[in-house]
Structure 1
Amino acid sequence: MSQFAANLSWLYPHLPFLDRFEAAARDGFTAVEYLAPYGWEAGELAARLRTNGLRQVLFNAPAAGLTPPEMAAAWQSGARGTAALPGQEAAFRAGVQEALRYAAVLDCPRIHVMSGMVPVGADVAAMQTTLIDNLRWACMQAAAQGCQLLIEPINARDMPGYFLQRQAQAHAVLDAVDSPHLKVLMDLYHCQVAEGDVASKLRQYLPTGRVAHIQIAGVPERQEPDIGELHYPYLFDVLDALGYAGWIGCEYRPAGDTSSGLGWRPRDSTPRP
């Protein structure tokens, strides 16, 4: 049975960020995810979770930066991760440590670590080596805290030049890192845009136990899952048949009012504790 987490970076865009927790709870969500928490104090976010009976199930490590203010501003300044960028190892390590600090306060079990953009003329082999080395180090830090790190293939249409783009590429990284604390975030929107054949890829990768989180959106507009070319009722049945027990993050851009657009959720999708 599917369990859905509201992505507060995307849903309820008419509300200030901190007010979105209450809105999500009012709409029946029991879990949330979002892009990054670094613009707010961890204690304030934890209080919003407690007040509204919500669980934090995912957020991103900082997209760049060595100091907390730099980390808080990194995404808006255009950074998209440092894990695969030679010469940015110090920023990567500082970001992982800051993410783990927030995860401890928020009781969040998973952190998405972004690889970064491929610079013009870059040595892609060197980037792959940097990514693997950085993730091996980060997995040791996450293991000490009982966290999982996730990597996510992102399609080249939405994020041109992003290093990690395809499912097979992500699973090859997992092979190389060889840590139980590294998993894949499989965004079905990105998978459809980049590769297609989504149901077959679910059947290929979910039985490996390496997919720890799923995200959804309609294709191609990235709106509600009942808008576009992907037939999510069928895909939800595939997930149930495969025994997927993780969260499904609602990372889409509402076509209108978020609450009014939630009719796509399966009626029997009561979230698990």
Structure 2
Amino acid sequence: MPRFCANLTTLFTEVPLLERPALAAEAGFEAAEILFPFGTDATALDRALAGAGLPLVLINCPPSDPLDSQGPRGFAAVPGEEAGFRKALTRSLRYMDMLGARRLNVMAGVADGPEAAGVFADNMAWAAEAAKGRLLTIEPTNPADLPGCFLDDFSVALALLEEIGAPNLGLQFDAYHAHCITGDVPGTWEAVAPWVSHVQVAGAPDRHEPAGGDIDYPAFFRQLDAGGYDGWVSAEYFPRGATQDGLGWLPD
């Protein structure tokens, strides 16, 4: 069975962030990810995670609010924002080091066309070099939830990974987004699995608990096991009610 981590940005929001690691550990999660920890005292957050025995396996870059529908979704592919991206990435690497985070997911932002493709490739090549000793990921997201996002197809992501060829740059596979983009989570996984270093799950079509709905998650978890995936599977969903009340999907 895969190793599960809790996204503490979307789960256990009934309590403040610093109280969520303890609840996640009590629920049976073995690690945590936090999308944008930048407004929280790093020392206090590190202490809360360590006290719960949860390693922090992923944060996002650049800092923005993922729950703000009007907010930016990164700018690694946005022409004219190269200097801002590099400043944000440098800041994110410092947070990684302070929190012991293992991965940084780099968000492409709203852009399109050949110029954006060139900017994204240049920025990611620079980022891979700047982040030596740390792991980076890129994540295809579906255009219905994130309109205009440059990275909205797995073929675009794989082409970039092959072009850069950096050993510390991999793919973040969000099964919910994969379902929305391709309609075929098992088939998409088989096509991209060699590139994947982090997995996220949520139910479709409503992005609630990964149970029922349009994605057969028990079958997907078996597929991960059969293929030898040994990374983390993050619960990045929006609970229908209290988080604890919807954890029946989480294997013992």
TM-score (norm 2): 0.95
**Counterparts of 1:155 and 1:29, CA distance in 2:** 27
> What CA distance in whole angstroms lies between the structure 2 residues aligned with 1:34 and 1:154?
18
Determine whether 1:140 maps to 2:129: yes
Match of 2:223 among 204, 223, 238: 238
1:169 — aligned with what? Answer: 156
* Cα deviation digits, residues 205-239 of structure 1 (max 9, x gap): 21x2x100000000001011113111100010100
CA distance in structure 1 between the aligned counterparts of 2:134 and 2:231, rounded to whole angstroms = 15
State the shift of 1:22 in Å.
1.6
Give how far 1:94 is off. Answer: 0.8
- Is 1:78 the counterpart of 2:87? The answer is no
One-letter code aligned to 1:116: G
Q: Select the residue among 92, 96, 106 that pairs with 1:99.
A: 92
Specify the alignment match of 2:114 in structure 1. 125
- Retained in 2: the 8 A contact 1:62–1:74? no
Residues 1:249 and 2:234 aligned together: yes
In the alignment, structure 1 segments of 5+ residues that lack a partner are 64-70, 268-273
Q: Does 1:26 align with 2:15?
A: no
Alignment of 1:1-273 (within 5 A): 1-63=1-63, 76=68, 78-118=71-111, 124-143=113-132, 146-206=133-193, 208=194, 210-267=195-252
Which amino acid is 2:247 matched to? L
1:234 partner SS: helix
How high is the sequence identity, in percent, across the aligned residues? Answer: 41
**Runs of 4+, deviation exceeding 4 Å:** 73-77
What is the distance in 2 between the residues matched to 1:135 and 1:142?
10
CA distances 1:34-74 after superposition (whole Å, capped 9, x unpaired) = 211110122121111111111000010124xxxxxxx6x79
> What is the number of equivalent residue pairs in this alignment?
251
Distance 1:110 1:178 in 2: 17
- For the residue of structure 1 that corresponds to 2:190, the secondary structure is helix
What TM-score comes out, normalization by structure 1 length?
0.88
For the aligned residue pairs, the C-alpha RMSD in angstroms reads 1.5
Letter in 2 for 1:191: A
Separation (CA, whole Å) in 2 of partners of 1:20 and 1:55: 13
Q: Contact 2:35/2:66 (CA < 8 Å) preserved in 1?
A: no
Q: What is the deviation of 1:175? A: 1.2
Give the residue type in structure 2 aligned to 1:56. L
Describe the SS at the equivalent of 1:111: strand
